[in-house]
Structure 1
Amino acid sequence: MDWDKLRIFHAVAEAGSFTHAGEVLNLSQSAVSRQISALEDVLQVPLFHRHARGLILTEQGETLNQTVREVFSKLEMTQTLLTESKEKAAGRLRVTTTTGFGSCWLMPRLHRFMEQNPEIAITMILEDNDLDLGMREADVAVRMHAPRQPDLIQRHLADFPLPVYAAPSYIESYGMPASLDDLAAHKLVAFGGYHPPVPHINWLLEAGLNDGTRRAARLEVNSMAAMADAIASGLGIGSIPGYAAAEYPNLVKILPDIQHPAVEAFFVYPEELRSSKRVAVFRDFLTSEMGLRG
């Protein structure tokens, strides 16, 4: 197997068609197709099922693509480390975090990092699902839970409480609940979706209920930023991290004496980037912004 054919195969596997892969590789559709056929001849197995809607990897193709992805991922990481300046942080850093934390907390502060580190370029990937750092889907992550992969380095950044908020307009219309029992008469805003951006985001729906029941939310939305918008608009009462509520200074904390959970934020990166200066300066920026040392 030669590297060029493997590179083309990987591009086709990711694109799902010869045409789209050709556009990425700056090759004609026919040239890409010939290279894939030649690779299949060498391996003596089919790598793709061909049909009118595009290409689907065969079982053998899936196995090869997984290996090729890992190899190219390691090569890309090695190239990054070899070319990174020994004296100063430079190059591109791909950062992933949840949409809520990224848009509400990180993006408003990112200009300070860019000013302090003019030779670092940032790719920000806001995604509530965890990307695979080991497979180089991103370089570093800020996650709202401890990493589940054992080969990742983690640094605890901060705990973000999940207070209960309401807008002044809502309180004026519906009153201020004095206890969890009072919530039965109020409208609740909750996260609705398969991938909660932070743990315990819907704790208010079950707080104080010991019989396994759950309060019904008047509004569910699959975005924490949209939850904050809804609460600030007076649509109901909800629990969100302080960083999401910070954009709405008029929000009122309600039920302040009720114990509420907190979200743990971690800075996470693969072992291979332990000595990366880009990673180090971004870590130091985060801890500084959160009022931590080091």
Structure 2
Amino acid sequence: MDWDKLRIFHAVADAGSLTHAGDALHLSQSAVSRQVRALEEALNTTLFHRHARGLILTEQGELLFEATSSMIKRIDSATARIRDSEEEVFGQLKVTTTHGFGALWLAPRLAKLYDKYPDLKIDLMLEERVLDLPMREADVAIRMKEPSQADLIRKRLMSIRMRMYASPEYLEAHGVPTEISDIQNHRLICQAPGAPQVMAGEQLVESLLAHDVQTSLTVNNYFGVLQAVVANLGIGVLPDYIIEDFPTMIRVLPDIESIEVPVFLAYPEELRQSKRVSAFRDFVQDEIIAHRRQRRAMGAD
């Protein structure tokens, strides 16, 4: 089957428009249309329902689009590995991690990686959902538990705990709790039990809410929790890795914390020799070492 026709079909299906696909492929709309019609004739089927507002895949078109998507992923993977045989580190690297870790810890540090490898293109995907690395939904994952997927290279980076923090201004205005029962006199800021989060955080929140907390604010990610704490709104349940970037935060009830949560970096076995992956892995490991030193200096552990 003609690869050019399949490539053009995929672009049309992805864009939902002959015009937009033509722009992406640098082809005229009529040339794109001819190729799609020729493919439909070769397969003796209709691949698109044609509407005034665009194109919609038929059932047969959906089957072909699934196949071309898989083919393009494999070609992109092969292209990346070929390019990685060069000395320079460049090209796209798809990195997935959680909203909290990605927004609060990883993203603020990426400037150092770009300084060293200016031709690298990071696609940072913040997801609580675990993406499928062997199917190349992402190249590298940083997750708050050991990945269970097969054929992955995995490395434990560090451990974190969920703890309680408040701003100096809030504590000056509302007092410092000295025992767990005092939490009922404060506003608790946290993720709602049952929201996508590490189990350790959910368990800590549930145990705190059991102490007859009168007022609370729940947010569906840790970035929102942090912003509320910074705005002097209450006592927040947050991962301990944020502290070095927010040194004015005060830990509340230091004897109360979650169980330890392991942080793992993982990538597919087939990317073992990838210079892009190696560069990112080494960068993260160096930042983890610096993070540990900073925490020890602050006496945060």
Tell me which interval the TM-score lies in, with the shorter structure as reference length. 0.7 to 0.9
| RMSD after superposition | 2.9
* Number of the residue aligned with 1:4: 4
Structure 1 match to 2:229: 231
Q: Is the 8 A contact 1:104 1:225 kept in 2?
A: yes
How far, CA to CA, are the matches of 1:176 and 1:31 in structure 2?
Answer: 71
Deviations 1:168-211 (A, max 9, x none): 2222222223333332332111235986365544444301677x
Distance between the aligned counterparts of 1:194 and 1:205, measured in 2?
Answer: 10
**Residues 150 and 253 (structure 1), Cα distance of their counterparts in 2 relative to 1, 3 Å cut:** same
Identify which range, 192-201 or 99-108, moves more after superposition.
192-201
Indicate the percent of aligned positions where both proteins have the same amino acid. Answer: 46
What is the DSSP-based 3-state SS (H/G/I as helix, E as strand, rest coil) of the residue aligned with 2:255? coil
Mean Cα deviation higher: 282-291 or 142-151: 142-151
Q: Could you list the per-position Cα deviations for residues 66-113 of structure 1 after superposition, in whole angstroms to 9, with x for gaps in the alignment?
A: 221111111111122123235454444333333332232223322333
Contact (CA 8 Å) 2:143, 2:263: kept in 1 or not? yes
Higher helix share: 2
Query: Aligned AA for 2:32?
Result: V
CA distance in structure 2 between the partners assigned to 1:290 and 1:29 by the alignment: 51
| Shift of residue 239, structure 1, vs aligned partner | 1.1
- Relative to 1, partners in 2 of residues 1:251 and 1:61: Cα closer, same or farther, differing over 3 Å? same
**Residues 93-172 of structure 1: matches in 2 within 5 Å?**
93-117=93-117, 120-128=119-127, 129-172=129-172
**Structure 2 CA distance, aligned partners of 1:219 and 1:75?**
47
Q: Is the 8 A contact 2:153 2:268 kept in 1?
A: yes
Q: Distance in 1 between matches of 2:202 and 2:74?
A: 39
Structure 2 CA distance for aligned equivalents of residues 121 and 73 of structure 1: 19
Q: Which of the residues 267, 270, 273 maps onto 2:268?
A: 270
When structure 1 is superposed on structure 2, of 282-291 and 109-118 the one drifting more is 109-118
Whether contact under 8 Å (1:180, 1:207) holds in the other structure is no
1:178 is paired with a residue whose SS is coil
Query: Is this contact kept in 1: 2:186–2:214, CA < 8 A?
Result: no
Partner SS state of residue 105, structure 2: helix
Length-normalised TM-score, structure 1? 0.85
3-state SS of paired residue (2:113): helix
Q: Tell me the TM-score normalised to structure 2 length.
A: 0.83
Do 2:92 and 2:123's aligned partners in 1 also have CA atoms closer than 8 Å?
no
Distance of 2:225 and 2:240 partners within structure 1 = 13
| Cα separation, partners in 2 of 1:23 and 1:142, compared to 1, 3 Å | same
Structure 1, 163-172 or 191-200: larger mean CA deviation: 191-200
Aligned AA (1:78): A
d(CA) in 2 for partners of 1:109, 1:290? 11
**Inter-partner Cα distance in structure 1 for 2:255 and 2:98:** 28
Instruction: Name the counterpart of 1:41.
Output: 41
| Equivalent residue letter for 1:233 | A
List gaps (5 residues or longer) in structure 2.
291-301
Matched, 1:70 2:70: yes
Whichever residue aligns with residue 4 of structure 1, its letter is D
1:173-188 paired onto structure 2 within 5 Å: 173-188=173-188
How far apart are the structure 2 equivalents of 1:50 and 1:214?
59
Change (3 A) 1:195 1:260: closer
Distance in 1 (alpha carbons) for counterparts of 2:220 and 2:48: 36
Does the CA-based 8 Å contact 1:221-1:227 persist in structure 2? yes
